[in-house]
Amino acid sequence: MAARPTTRFAPSPTGYLHLGHAHSALLARRAAREAGGRFLLRIEDIDRTRCRPEFTAAILEDLTWLGLEPDGPVRVQSAHFREYGAALDSLASRGLLYPCFCTRAEIAREVAAIGAAPHGPAHGPDGPLYPGTCRRLAPEERAARIAEGQPYALRLDMAAALAAAGGPLTYEEVGEGRLRCDPARFGDAVLARKDTPASYHLCVTHDDALQGVTLVTRGEDLRPATDLHRLLQALMGWPEPAYSHHPLLLGPDGRRLAKRDGARSLREMRAAGLDAAAVRALAGG
């Protein structure tokens, strides 16, 4: 890790920030400040069906109120799909991607059918692994279906990718040392689909490299994704940051704070009369 680290806070504008977000941002900023480094902000708004401009504006407002302004310009991912497309083209030119025409319903049916077999389907961090149906299509059939205008996702051919990466992959976890990765447990991961032209996994590794991020601080729930991220870094020749996965803040009921569960937002706390110092204290800052 560099002597002066660059860290980042990278929320998705699918709702208002809550204490869990503030906790993560404070940890990232503290890691940078204690070593005289930089703290960056990135808006990860690649999900065009769920992300909204008003939430982006609210994120900027909340961070300014908390005193967590970034060092340098804010990167907004939705303005850079062309860059992510170039990365996808690079992988495709090396035979590491293939088009997948299966719908979610078709995949679910095939996985269910496999589940009735003696050995059942393999499982990864996100559930049953894709069985590789479209990986086995002939090039001529793929081309014909694309020419017909059939929608498709782009999947990483995991076996080919691991062979191209060469050798075992590891990453540096702060306080734990080097840990071995197992990207294969993700199976043939989706790196792009019609409604999301580039996946979280591709965009986050691309941007960490582009922005010179040397220390990725994020929640423990994202630790499994590091295995796939290290594979993409190895395939693309992107630098390897160090990682620091922190425990998640929990609510009074012992469950992790989450937007979908109605976690109290920072805006609600401000409206209730709490000042920034009080909210930072609640967030562990």
Q: Give 27-83 pLDDT, tens digit per residue.
A: 999 999 999 999 999 999 999 889 999 999 999 999 999 999 999 999 999 999 999
Tokens of residue 76, six digits = 């907004």
Find residue 217's DSSP bridge partners.
244
| % pLDDT > 90, the chain | 79
For residues 254 and 262, what is the distance between their CA atoms, to the nearest angstrom? Answer: 14
What is the arithmetic mean of pLDDT over 161-178? 96
Q: For 220-235, what is each residue's pLDDT tens digit?
A: 999 999 999 999 999 9
pLDDT of residue 269 exceeding 80, the answer is: yes
pLDDT of residue 196 exceeding 60, the answer is: yes
pLDDT of residue 250: 73
195-220 burial, b at 16+ Cβ within 10 Å, e below that, comes to ebbbbbbbbbbbbbbebebbbbbbbe
Mean pLDDT of the chain: 91
Backbone φ, ψ for residue 211 (5° rounding): -85, 0
183 closest CA partner among 159, 205, 203: 159
For residues 124 and 92, what is the distance between their CA atoms, to the nearest angstrom? Answer: 24
Question: How far from 254 is each of 2, 92, 249, 251, 280, CA to CA, in Å?
Answer: 36, 44, 9, 5, 20
pLDDT of residue 116: 47
Active site residues: 259
Neighbours of 147 (CB within 10 A): 8
Give the predicted TM-score (pTM) of the model: 0.90
